[in-house]
Structure 1
Amino acid sequence: MTCNPRYEILFEPMRIGPVTAPNRFYQVPHASGMTNALPRVRAAFREAKAEGGWGVICTGACSIDPSSDDAPLPFATMWDDNDIRAHALMTEAVHRHGALAGVELWHGGASVMNRTSRLPPLSPSGIPWMATHVGFMGNLRPKTMDKADIREVLRCQAEAARKARTAGFDVVYVYAGMGYLGYEFLLPEYNHRVDEYGGSIENRVRFVREMIEVTKDAVGKDCGVALRVSLEELRGRPGRNQPSEAHELIELLAELPDLFDVKMDSSPTDCSASRFTGEGSHEPVIDFVKSLTKKPVVGVGRFTSPDTMVSQIKRGVLDFIGGARPSIADPFLPNKIREGREAEIRECIGCNICISSWHDGVPVRCTQNPTAGEEWRRGWHPERVERTDAPERILIVGGGPAGLECALTLGRRGHEVMLADGNRTFGGRLTFEKTLPGLSAWNRVVDYRLGRLSEMGNVSLYPESVLGAGEIIDLAPDRVVLATGARWSNMLYSSLEIPVGRLDHPDVLTPDDIAAGRLPQGPTLVFDFDNYYMG
């Protein structure tokens, strides 16, 4: 199969200053939960995306100095020669597939706690970052930066940029978003300075401008420099000569960086769950940027539809299609579009378990892509599995997400697979959950797997098939996989209470009861021990 002519624009080479990306697919910086302690895990995770066709592959936040210490949350560092060697594993892996490698140099400012380094957090005016997206972070009173502190951060940025070039990065970032130091200088709520770094928008932009300038000087003429900046808050502030301060910011810096990476202000809006926002939700905030700069612009919006991607480019919203969550869900998304295999894309469902993984301090997980984070440790590949030399006849009982994935993997390995489920349709819990408000996208988990299974002659599907031990014995499979899932408990418990046992009463209902059609009568009290979405 060949690329649909409508989508060929997505595969045009694009300049980022002195370097050229092979196409418009840009894996923007995003957390992976993989620190410098896991350099090979991290390199393999990023390499899968380069192999899958993403033209630019970036790191997550990479600290420039111990005064930017995000512990206990996982983060990378660019502090010494050991860090150079760790990051070089990733750049070498990315370059093997012809992609560019980018590094998101980062200083957390008042939003970090510096629990390991024990250094005072830094900020423009000594104001805690109370809007941080992690509640227990950023509540210390930070130090107000004096001129010496500013010069030292600029020195650290330049030194980290030089190390990044030594490690092999092609694009080096200045980060001024999501509550971190550069962004704190931009916002008047956190910048009360009365010197040349505070007051007018021109002065508040000065620190970010100087960060870009020292970065460009440090990396030389053969490396791109990107500015990543949040625009949501500034877009809501009227400007003096422009519709908003976001417009004025872009106008002031229009020709300085080689690329603008534009985004929202915090996790709830920047990477909002599909329950609340759809594809391309950032557009109303960032749609003006290209009108004020000739430099390329990348942005995100949980893009999975190539038609939406092309629309963003042709309407002048973006030059690069940014992807974080979609690149995790399907590292091979670009190649599938290039090869005319759009139906095979494992579309991100916006459940945000990837973000939850980072909050838990562990490597990223993905509902759609179980190989994410296991590429090096277990040798798992998102598209290829090793064929068996000894095919078996395998029965899988239970056609929910786990049973479907099991059938798909075993089928790809060459086994004869029988997948049985007692319901009329496959999908398990998603059969109900997809009907909840805003969760229709979650059924992509089922649609993708059923679509692939329907193409496999060695996999048979048996809905409405309730199997007991006798029926299973009669089928005489070589192996049996039980994928019948679990049920919600009716015990009253939480992390702050001792379990009191089951609440055996006809009016006590669990989500399973609701899914089965039993509804409460009269006033209802909801105990939400899931704290995720079910309540």
Structure 2
Amino acid sequence: MERYPHIFQPGTIGKLAVKNRIKYAATETNFPYGDGYVSEREVAYMEAQAKGGAGIVTTQGAYPDKKGEGKGFKGMMSINDDRYIPGLMRIADVIRANGALSSIQILHCGREGGIELDYCLMPSVVPQKLSYFKPPREITKEEIKQAVRDHVAAARRAREAGFDMIELSGIVGYLLSTFISRYTNKRTDEYGGGLKERCRLMVEVIEGVKAEVGDMPVGIRLCGHELLDDRGGNTFEESVESFRIAEDAGADYLSVTVGWHESSQSVITRDVPMGHWLYIAEAVKKAVDVPVMMAFRQFLPHIPEKAIAGGQIDFVEMCRPMIADPEFPNKVREGREEEIVPCIACNVCFSRLYYHQPIMCSVRPSLGHEGEEAWGYYGFKPAERRKKVVVVGGGPAGLQCAEVAARKGHEVTLFEKNDRLGGNILIASRVDGGAAELLRPIATLEQLCRKAGVSIRLGVTCDPSMVGREAPDVLVVASGPSMKGLSKGVLTPHSVMAAGEKVGPRVVIIGAGGVGLGVAVYLLRSGEYEITVIDEAGKPGRDVNPFYFWQYMALMRKRKVSFMMRTAVNSVEDVRVRVTGPSGEGVVEADSVITSLMAPEEGVWKDTAGSLAKEVYFIGDAKKPRRLLNAIRDGYRLGMVL
């Protein structure tokens, strides 16, 4: 009997039969060219998503207007002219050829658009909360009519490109959502006022698109709960009612989302329990008759299985889980859940878009390289010569390198001094309750290593003499970083968060990067501490993902953590920290001092590794302390070339 019968039962959208209840949800990638044309990279990425087993595969949003007022990303796909149809047709064809229904999203970014202009379009001039976005200009009535025409023309192009269905986007601050929300719509004409009037543009777009494409299904993504109560946004009841209005206008399905980019509440980070937002989809489902779908923290298959069985949703949408592993549906269906490369809600993919960079994934280095044989997304060619490889360190870099090297046919032995794999992830996973999700890719890598034939030796402190006895062709040092600033009485993140060293009430943390802030958050969540963070940098958290940085800083402001920036630590003497800062020299009294500063490996391997094997490589934090993304990428890229 199938373990997840509801996920894999057929469904319908309008006139179309869908092979299962999984939809790959639209996400921008910045893979297309800057002029809006589809790139080879985007086609290969969409092909991988289609091969992964989802019933519906949706493209990224394509902007419909010629001025670029709807363009919100440097590498955003365009559908504003017929010349884009051939490229779009390639995506539709490759999706259909791999057994999925093809859907294209039409997206005018509105409040978050005009990326190459000096303004963005909005129903009313409401100042931006996020400085990244352009200053608003009020859209005129004629421009509103043009926006409708642009969506209709885009729908025609979508049909001519061969897509099976169309999705409209009215979420997070994009054009349609800014009309629907009381927060951003202060108009007094027929497009403002009550909810019905605020939904008028949405209705005109749906009706216009439906009239253009006939019985081709048209769905829309709307916000089920804006989480903008502090700024006068829509009530929950108004948001649910907007779905009824969309259904009455002719929408064939409804995708339920949560929050705006400006919301002051966590929505997609690890502190939000998986499946938490399904109550919102359930409220929408009770109010409408067309199929309802939702994404948002449904990373484990039992969550949507239960939600579909219980009538909360009809389809599950997967975005980040299928960025991390496009094969998610196939692996679930085939009973290979332990091999799923798991999304850890780090949101590196999302945050890179706002630095005008192509998306990357902390746990899947092959993202964006699916069409490049050397990156091995569909498998690696066996190495020309089988080598004996020794990997020292069972953190993410070492595990990933070992797994790829073994898949290429090498004989790989991995040594880990602890009785558990994970390296510094074991510490990072203790920052807060949600951070425990960071352990999931470690478990997957261990499973894949063992499947590939890696010999894993836990609880073994590997030293140069041991490596000498192994006589490897390749030595990979992935043993982690050295700690900077250590002196008598100075603690480390490991000693505090893993070894259980006691910390006094007054704490100085040296280093305001991600590690230092993580230690501060850990302490604040576990007790009452008076914390001072010292760093030579001008700002804290430069290496912390924005999605988590604002959370950390909000907690630290609330708990009155002190920051001494542009301040150097001269010495630590009996937990008296001598510093030099903008105001000169001084002393900070403390009961405990913790250094979070790390350096490349400076221990036993620095001077001896070169004599132990023909090929020697340092990866991960042993090479240079950085983030999880860099560690896994180091390991993967080295494994590729061995």
> Please, what TM-score do these two structures have when normalized by structure 2?
0.73
**For residue 452 of structure 1, what is the aligned residue in structure 2?**
448
Matches within 5 A, 1:149-168: 149-168=143-162
CA change 1:252–1:208 in 2 (3 A) is: same
Distance (whole Å) between structure 2 residues aligned to residue 95 and residue 455 of structure 1: 32
Residues of 1 paired with 2:177 and 2:142: CA distance?
A: 19
Q: Write the distance in 2 (CA, Å) between the matches of 1:306 and 1:409.
A: 26
Q: How far off its partner does 1:342 sit?
A: 2.3
Q: Which residue of 2 aligns with 1:110?
A: 111
1:346-370 Cα offsets, whole Å, 9 max, x none, are: 2222122222222232222222222
**Residue of structure 2 in register with 1:53 after alignment:** 53
Whole-Å separation in 2 of the counterparts to 1:50 and 1:141:
38
8 Å contact from structure 1 (residues 234, 245) kept in 2: no
Tell me the percent identity.
28
Alignment match, 1:35: 32
- Structure 2 vs 1, CA of residues 115 and 425 (structure 1 numbering), >3 Å: closer, same or farther? closer
Query: Aligned with 2:326: secondary structure?
Result: coil
For residue 304 of structure 2, what is the aligned residue in structure 1? Answer: 309
Runs of 5+ in structure 1 lacking a partner? 491-502
The residue correspondences of 1:88-99 to structure 2 (distance < 5 A) are: 88-99=89-100
Q: Which AA in structure 2 matches 1:167?
A: A
Q: 1:127 to 1:418 in 2, by over 3 A?
A: same
Whether the 8 Å CA contact 2:22–2:317 is kept in 1: the answer is yes
Residue 151 of structure 1 aligns to which amino acid in structure 2? K
Taking the aligned partners of 1:54 and 1:81, their CA distance within structure 2 comes to 29
Deviates more, 1:251-260 or 1:171-180: 251-260
SS of 2:6's equivalent in the other structure is helix
Q: 1:470 to 1:56 in 2, by over 3 A?
A: same
Structure 2: 5+ residue runs without aligned partners? 515-540, 553-642
Instruction: Find the counterpart in structure 2 of residue 358 from structure 1.
Output: 353
User: What does the per-residue CA deviation read over 1:310-353, in whole Å, with 9 as the maximum and x for residues that have no partner?
Assistant: 11101111111111111112211111122122232222221222
- When residues 448 and 480 of structure 1 are mapped into structure 2, their CA distance, relative to the original with a 3 A threshold, is same
Residues 179 and 199, structure 2, Cα contact 8 Å, conserved in 1: yes
CA distance, structure 1, for counterparts of residue 286 and residue 373 of structure 2 = 47
8 Å CA contact 2:25, 2:319 repeated in 1: yes
Change (3 A) 1:186 1:282: same
1:342 to 337, 340, 344: 337
Q: 2:504 aligns with which of 507, 521, 528?
A: 521
Secondary structure, aligned partner of 1:373: coil
| Shift in Å, 1:107 | 1.2
2 CA distance for matches of 1:257 and 1:314? 23
C-alpha distance in 1 between matches for 2:229 and 2:115: 34
Counterpart position of 1:77: 78
State the SS of the aligned residue for 1:480: strand
- Residue by residue, what CA displacement relative to the aligned partner does 1:29-64 show, whole Å, maximum 9, x if unpaired? 112232335611111112112111011111223211
Residue equivalent to 2:238:
245
- Per the alignment, residue 266 of structure 1 pairs with 260
- The reply on whether 1:232 has 2:233 as its aligned counterpart is no
- 2:72/2:109 contact within 8 Å kept: no
Q: Is the 8 A contact 2:170 2:220 kept in 1?
A: yes
Which runs of 4 or more aligned residues in structure 1 lie more than 6 Å from their structure 2 counterparts after TM superposition? 234-237
SS of the equivalent of 1:214 reads helix
3-state SS, counterpart of residue 285 of structure 1: helix
Residue in 1 that maps onto 2:210: 216
Q: Describe the shift of the 1:443–1:54 C-alpha distance in structure 2 as closer, same or farther (beyond 3 A).
A: same
SS at match of 1:260: strand
Aligned to 2:436: 440
What is the 5 A alignment of 1:313-462? Answer: 313-377=308-372, 379-382=374-377, 384-388=379-383, 390-437=385-432, 438-456=434-452, 458-462=453-457
1:291 is displaced (CA, Å) by 1.4
User: 1:473-488 residue pairs with structure 2 within 5 A?
Assistant: 473-487=468-482
Confirm or deny: 8 A CA contact 1:110 1:128 kept in the other structure.
no
Contact 2:33-2:75 within 8 A present in 1 as well:
no
**Amino acid paired to 1:265:** G
CA contact (8 A) 1:487 1:512 kept: no
Residue 14, structure 1, aligned to residue 11, structure 2: yes
Amino acid of the residue matched to residue 296 of structure 2? G
CA distances 1:174-219 after superposition (whole Å, capped 9, x unpaired): 2111011111111122212222211111111111011111111222
Higher strand share: 2
Compared CA separation, residues 282 and 74, structure 1 to 2 (3 A): farther
1:205 to 192, 199, 221: 199
Q: Secondary structure at the match of 1:211?
A: helix
Give the number of aligned pairs: 505
- Cα distance change on mapping 1:363 and 1:124 into 2, 3 Å: same
The alignment's C-alpha RMSD in Å is: 2.6
The one-letter code matched in structure 1 to 2:142 is A
